[in-house]
Homo-oligomer: A and B are copies of this chain.
Amino acid sequence: MNSVDADIADYRYAIFSGGVGGAKLALGFYLEQSSEELLVIGNVGDDFNHWGLHISPDLDTLMYTLAGVADPDRGWGRAQESWTVLDTLSDLGGIDWFRLGDRDLAVHLERSVQMGEGETLSTVTRHLCRAFGVTATLVPPTNDEVRTMVGTADRTLSFQEYFVRERCEPLVTGLLYQGASQATLLPEIGRSLAGDRLEAVILSPSNPYLSLDPILEIDDLRRRLAASPAPVVAVSPLIQSQAFKGPTAKIMMELGFAVSTLTVAQHYADILDGIVIDSADRELSGAIADLGIKVWITDTNMGNEQDKRRLAAEVISFSETIAG
């Protein structure tokens, strides 16, 4: 048994997460639990090549958040950031719609250098996490390329074109997770899900369509989650039709879904054992229970560190209840 296998045997919690909202819960687990026992799987559907560099926005948001160097106000990028390179490149007429700070840029450069030398994204992510002192295991779901493509009335945009360049303004007509079905799930995720050490699988309060589906569509991950001995628990990203962060509500409406935690529960019905919903949505608990999904009602806001830890602790208690 090599050291990677030894690691896997020790994971107690696996969290599937997108960027900001999901990262808050991941931080709650990181602070509340023994971080070495935490496996965080970050969305790579938003990854893209910019300025010739491999950029992994969600993995970086998770890494920066766990390392305590994320910018607390902007919701992306690093704290105490400067913008010298971007401003200079902008003056030269370069492409400047994606705002890369100097400290953030260093990470993309280092990632791209290591990947250029033939390292996989998962290995580079481990190297970077080690450099940032992150003691949880943060991985991409696959080392293959998965790209979220956003269909709009006019044309298909890459996620970052839609999200950043077009500021989520175009009407979304459909989503495509390019490469997902052909991608190979990172073996340690599959082994961890199939093993009996894992106490819970958590779907973080990230956008189901933009952040979690690009992961869940990989390989036969949905089937693996449905078959996992550990309970699968989601935390809803919605409170009474309001998404915590980002364009979740807008996209749900445009795709014809009711903007409701019930829709989220239905979306995951085949894999969920339980869902944590906000007290404001308690009237949905009956309808969700009818789907065969257990419900935990609490305050799902994660405004401060204490909220994050409390919610993580509640998710753990809830999953223990489900596991019986």
User: Cβ of A91 < 8 Å from any Cβ of B?
Assistant: yes
CB distance from A125 to the nearest CB of B (A): 12
Given the known inter-chain contacts A52-B52, A53-B52, A82-B84, please indicate yes or no for A94 contacting B112, CB distance below 8 A: no
Please name 11 further chain A to chain B contacts, defined as beta carbons within 8 Å, in addition to the given A52-B109, A92-B107, A94-B109, sorted by A numbering.
A51-B112, A52-B113, A82-B102, A84-B84, A86-B106, A89-B106, A89-B110, A92-B106, A92-B131, A93-B110, A94-B110
CB distance from A215 to the nearest CB of B (A): 26
A116 to B110, CA, bound (A): 19
Of B82, B89, B109, the contact of A82 (CB 8 Å cutoff): B82
Q: Which residue of B lies closest to A49 (CB)?
A: B116
A87 to B156, CA, bound (A): 39
Chain A interface extent, by class: 20 to 34
Determine chain A's interface SS by DSSP, over half rule: helix
Inter-subunit contact B131/A91 (CB<8 Å): yes
Given the known inter-chain contacts A52-B116, A116-B52, please indicate yes or no for A110 contacting B84, CB distance below 8 A: no
Task: Mark A residues whose CB is within 8 Å of B.
Answer: 51-53, 82, 84-86, 88-89, 91-95, 102-103, 105-107, 109-110, 112-113, 116, 127-128, 131-132
Q: Which of A103, A106, A127 has the largest count of B CB atoms less than 10 A from its CB?
A: A106
Q: Would you give 18 A-B contacts (Cβ < 8 Å), ordered by A?
A: A52-B52, A52-B112, A52-B113, A52-B116, A82-B84, A82-B102, A84-B103, A84-B106, A85-B103, A85-B105, A88-B103, A89-B106, A89-B109, A92-B106, A94-B106, A94-B113, A95-B113, A102-B102
Inter-subunit contact B113/A84 (CB<8 Å): no
Inter-subunit contact B131/A51 (CB<8 Å): no
Inter-subunit contact A84/B102 (CB<8 Å): yes
Chain B residues lying within 8 Å of A102, measured Cβ to Cβ, are 82, 84-85, 88, 102
